[in-house]
Amino acid sequence: MRTALVGAALLLLGIVAALTGILPASDVAALWDRVWPILLFVIGVTVVTELAAAAGLFAAVAQQTARWGRGRAWVLWLLVVAVAVVSTTFLSLDTTAVLLTPVVVVLARHAGLSPLPFALTTVWLANTASLLLPVSNLTNLLAQHAMGNPSPIGFAALTVAPAAVAIVVPVVTIGVVFRRSLLVRYVSEARDSVDDGVLFWGSAIVVVALLPALVSGVAVWIPATAAALVLSLLFAIRRRTALRASLVPWQLIVLAAGLFLFIDALHAVGLGALLAAVSGSGESTLALLRLSVTGMLGANAVDNLPAYLALEPVADTPRRLVALLIGVNAGSLITPWASLATLLWHQRLSSLDVGVSWRRYVLLGVVVAPVTVVLATLALAAT
């Protein structure tokens, strides 16, 4: 509810700016034309992942992962890493934070393992593994539009090197910090998470079909919306009670809409000139580092989405946009509010009675985030 209230307040301020002429009507129209496909994608993919989770798809993946681990905790953890990377890359960071987190926590507990390294893996990779494709993060969709809407393959060609670095650095860090917890053995328990085979296999088919559709070059809101409609129809037939208004991420939509309008209003009164002086210009290695570090500091100060929106106008080339994404995505590891995914992750852990020390989280992030951002930006500069 707090997220929706903040979004509503920002939306109201943006509307006031539009009504008073601070934000021209033409700018509002251009903004709406840009963001409605993005918001529709967010709704579609959220509905798909929520219904697939209700059908037992993610729990079944976790159980199969436990069997593949063959009793070795470090193997199980690396498999969770792989699942988190795929989930984040194709289904967005919020899917990993919200849906995969409880699955891996339950998985670790059933195996008699500490859930902390698995939980930290999901939240770090939800943020850092969200660089590769436009669908991985809302900021990426915005950047894709600013780049002139390259294909997902074209977008990935720019981001693949920094994305690889942004995955490896946090994974290595967790492996070192939690090595004692991971160098143990476990016993896998066979559990049946499927209540309705039709819903389960229907959800599996829809999700498997959706993944390549999201990178096919078709506007991502189209396959996401189609998949959401198909699954909603299937659930309407088999389990109508699962269809509820809360499937739609209203709070996130209101927050995003408010941020879009409010930041646009700030740019209308000169925010861009101030940030241009801070973030510099050009595509030299130092210029790219300056922009990515500015993005990292902004994300950890106020959240990655407003940080991206504020800095986008000064990231005036595709490479500078990728540098900004490195900062606001991979750098969002220090403060709890650096990304909405982190806050959602913490809510999930609290509901599962998993205690997380924010002091330790911040201290680890202070080390990992700058190293990840700098090395990922150097990888970008080298390509």
Segment 364-375, tens digit of pLDDT? 999 999 999 999
Nearest Cα neighbor of 156 from 197, 210, 216 is 216
**Alpha carbon distance 261, 255 (integer Å):** 10
Mean pLDDT of the chain: 86
Please state the length of the chain. Answer: 383
Which pLDDT belongs to residue 278? 72
Q: pLDDT for 50-109, tens place per residue?
A: 898 889 887 787 777 778 888 888 999 999 999 899 989 988 887 888 778 888 887 888
Least confident interval from 224-233, 251-260, 294-303? 251-260
Q: Which domain does 90 fall in, by range?
A: 2-382
**348-357: long-range contacts, CB 8 A cutoff, minimum separation 24:** 348/97, 348/98, 348/101, 348/102, 348/105, 349/101, 349/105, 349/119, 351/102, 352/102, 352/105, 352/106, 352/115, 354/105, 354/115, 354/116, 354/119, 356/116, 356/119
Q: Say which range, 59-73, 79-93, 198-212, 321-335, has the weakest mean pLDDT.
A: 59-73
* Sequence-separated contacts (24+) of 58-65 with Cβ below 8 Å: 58/99, 58/100, 58/103, 59/103, 59/106, 59/193, 60/193, 60/194, 60/200, 61/103, 62/103, 62/104, 62/106, 62/107, 63/107, 63/190, 63/191, 63/193, 65/107
Domain count for the chain: 1
In which band, very low, low, confident or very high, does the pLDDT at 378 lie, cut at 50, 70 and 90? very high
Q: What is the mean pLDDT of residues 309-313?
A: 86
Task: Tell which residue, 193, 172, 185, has the closest CA to residue 58.
Answer: 193
Q: What is the mean pLDDT of residues 294-319?
A: 87
Mean pLDDT calculated for residue range 273-295: 84
Query: What's the rounded mean pLDDT across residues 330-336?
Result: 92
Farthest CA pair distance, the chain: 65
Q: Is the pLDDT of residue 337 over 90?
A: no
**Is residue 320 within 8 Å of 283, Cβ to Cβ?**
yes
Question: Which of the listed ranges 60-74, 142-156, 214-228 does the model predict with the highest average pLDDT?
Answer: 142-156
Q: Is the CA virtual torsion 274, 159, 248, 301 positive or negative?
A: negative
The residue type found at 49 is T
In the block, tokens 């294909």 appear at 151
Sign for the pseudo-dihedral over CA of 345, 346, 350, 352: positive
Task: Give the DSSP per-residue string, 215-247.
Answer: TSSS-THHHHHHHHHHHHHHHHHH-GGG--GGG
Residue 276: pLDDT band with limits 50, 70, 90: low
Burial class, 253, CB count within 10 angstroms (exposed 0-12 / middle 13-18 / buried 19+): middle
pLDDT at 192: 62
How deeply is 38 buried, as exposed, middle or buried, from its count of CB atoms within 10 A (0-12, 13-18, 19+)?
A: buried
SS3 118: helix
